[in-house]
Chains A and B, each alone.
Chain A
Amino acid sequence: VAAEPKVTTMRQAIAELVRDGDTVAIEGFTHLICFAAGHEIIRQRKRDLTLCRLTPDVIYDQMVGAGVARRLVFSWLGNPGVGSLHAIRRRVERADPAPLEIEEYSHFGMVCRYVAGASRLPFFPIRSYFDSDLPKANPRIVPIESPYGGETLYAVPPLNPDVTIVHSQRADASGNTQIWGLLGCQKEAAFAADRVIVVCEELVEEATIRQDPNRTVLPGLVVDAVVVEPKGCHPSYAQGYYDRDNRFYLDWDRIARDPQKLEAWLEEWVHGLESHAEYVDKLGADRWAELVPGEAWSDPVNYGQYA
């Protein structure tokens, strides 16, 4: 059976695969956070999403500020290296302009929720949460006795997103996906999901993937759509392609403190643009030039030829 072509636009991928009320994970630990996908979800005015991420980061502050989310599942709520996420805090602290449901874990708890989800297990046991108030705040974190006796552990429930979105350095048209640099928990979050959108900096031939199979994080088998979106992580980064734009993370602190400024930012940078390509242009060549890293290549390895 010929596979359906998977390469599509961000607009079409989000329109077809992200539905109102879905549980959505755009993962990536500081690295490879797909802001382009978040912006398209905002642009299409999706509603009532449950957003999952270890670190909601500026991307979810923008999405929560834009009103796409009803619920947030997370383990560390901050603007990394800067401070707070003000749009989320307004909703949590003052229900302003509406309440936001939260479901909170630790990092290891969230990671193991994806592992349980990807493995189709009913729970995952970890050695954490002893004498912490987190299980009181979140009754889904449950103490369990080891079936082999002798100790108490804590169980976390599986997390199976409706949609997981993974940004990568490169992928082929079937969705075979390679990542280097920080790996976060994208593999676990993707295998746990019903639907997977892979976004890549570069679309490559399958032969390129096959030259270096150890670098493959996801097989096309679990991928539903492939979107080519260069610079799609800004202000997050793609290792070896562009650096994190720390200036934007600092700017966001000022923008997000004021709901009117936040609204104006969304109008100018999301709703007012047709696509991420326009966003890239609007940022300007000078800004991008600041973000180009130096080079640090690895030596090739010999996989051997066994014909």
Chain B
Amino acid sequence: VSDGHGYSAAEMMIVASARQLEGERVCFVGVGPPNIACNLAKRTVAPELELVYESGVFGAVPARLPLSIGDPTLVSGSLQVTSMFELFAFYLQAGLIDVGFLGASQIDRFGNINTTVIGGYDNPTVRLPGSGGACEIAINARKVFVIMPQSARSFVPRIDFRTSPGHPAGGRPQGWLGSGPSVVVTGLGVYRFDDRSGEMHVASLHPGITPEEVRQNTGWDLKVPEAAERTPPPTAEELRLIREELDPQGAYTK
């Protein structure tokens, strides 16, 4: 749905995420918006980017929009197909993954993520998918990018279940390869984390989004400067790549 700017909120999220990948080399991709963002980055700010999928593909060059992370288009033409053990052990746990993308149903101010349950674990109101590879990605990918919708129900003071850790009090202990979530991109803005406190702050608000909207859609007292930076809107070329090459049906971007 266009929001009156000539592009959709989903397109803004994808473009903002893709730009964060500038200069990155090896990226663990998720399905949906992260997949489009990574493929857009490869065509714009990060031509050297190698796309890695937890299904066991390194160096994928998807010829169509993959409908799952196990889509056969990821295999044909890729550099390598590995067992899942090799992918998680030799690539992820060994520190070869520069950026891991995660989604989230709930996130807190320290970047802890819930994708397991809403409500109690033993009597959930909503049973969510669970970790998949997210827990070990959150720990071992050098950086973690989160793409998610933002509302007072998803940006919460306390998550119901900590599936994947963010920034623990006092910083990450030894033995964790990754530095944790570095950026969160939502339909409203881009957020980063303070190096010392590990707390989320506003990096930029998307065009047309007011500080009041962001406050209303955040469950804690996030400081939103009235003169916050603005996310540059999608360029014509970014929109062309998304609409003509990456998601021509608009499956994830309408």
Using C-beta atoms within 8 Å of the partner chain, give the interface range for chain B.
Answer: 35 or more
Establish whether residues A81 and B136, one from each chain, have CB atoms under 8 Å apart when the complex forms. Answer: no
> A54 to B241, alpha carbons, bound, how many Å?
34
Q: Is the CB of A151 within 8 A of B56?
A: no
List residues 232-279 of chain A with CB under 8 A from any CB of chain B: 237, 239, 243-244, 246
Cβ B55 vs Cβ A29 within 8 A: yes
Question: B100 → chain A, closest Cβ, in Å?
Answer: 12
Residue of B nearest to A152 (CB): B175
Whole-angstrom distance between the Cβ of B233 and the nearest chain A Cβ? 29
Residues of A within 8 A of B217 (CB): none
Main secondary structure of the interface of B (DSSP, over half): loop
A21 within 8 A of B: no
How far, in Å, is B52 (CB) from chain A's closest CB? 13
A29-B55, A92-B124, A106-B132 known; A131-B165 Cβ under 8 A:
yes
The closest CB in chain A to the CB of B126 belongs to A93
In the bound assembly, the distance between CA atoms of A92 and B127 in angstroms comes to 7
List of A residues within 8 angstroms of B75 by Cβ: 181-182, 239
Contact, CB under 8 Å: B130 / A80: no
What sequence of 0s and 1s flags, for each residue 123-148 of chain A, a beta carbon within 8 Å of any chain B beta carbon?
00011111111101100000000000
Shortest Cβ gap from A145 to chain B (Å): 11
Any B CB within 8 A of the CB of A280: no
Whether A184 pairs with B136 at a CB distance below 8 angstroms is no
A237 CA / B32 CA spacing, docked (Å):
20
**B45: Cβ under 8 A from any A Cβ:** no
Chain A 145-162 against B: per-residue CB contact (8 Å), 1 yes, 0 no? 000000111000000000
Is A106 within 8 A of B55, CB to CB?
A: no
Identify which of B70, B136, B177 contacts A80 (C-beta below 8 A).
B70
**Known interface pairs A131-B168, A181-B75, A244-B67. Does A78 touch B129 (Cβ–Cβ under 8 Å)?**
yes
Contact A182 B165, beta carbon cutoff 8 Å: no
B162 within 8 A of A: yes
A203 to chain B, nearest CB (A): 23
Interface size on A, residues (CB 8 A): 53
Given A111-B88, A181-B81, A182-B57, A133 and B136 contact (CB-CB distance below 8 Å): no
- Across-interface contacts of A204 in B (CB, < 8 A): none
B121-A182 in contact (CB<8A): no
Instruction: Point out the residue from A76, A80, A93 that lies within 8 Å of B124, measured CB to CB.
Output: A93
A13 near B: Cβ within 8 Å?
no
Q: Is the C-beta of A115 less than 8 angstroms from some C-beta in chain B?
A: yes
Contacts A76-B131, A130-B175, A132-B163: A182 and B81 contacting too (C-beta < 8 A)?
Answer: yes
- CB neighbours (8 Å) of B175 from chain A are 127, 130, 151-153
State A225–B82 Cα separation when bound (angstroms).
26
Instruction: Name B residues whose Cβ lies closer than 8 Å to a Cβ of A.
Output: 31-32, 54-57, 67-72, 75-77, 81-85, 88-89, 92-93, 116, 121, 124-136, 139-140, 161-165, 168, 173-177
Q: A30-B55, A107-B136, A132-B162 are in contact. List 8 more A-B contacts (CB 8 A).
A: A130-B173, A132-B163, A132-B165, A137-B161, A151-B174, A182-B70, A182-B75, A244-B72
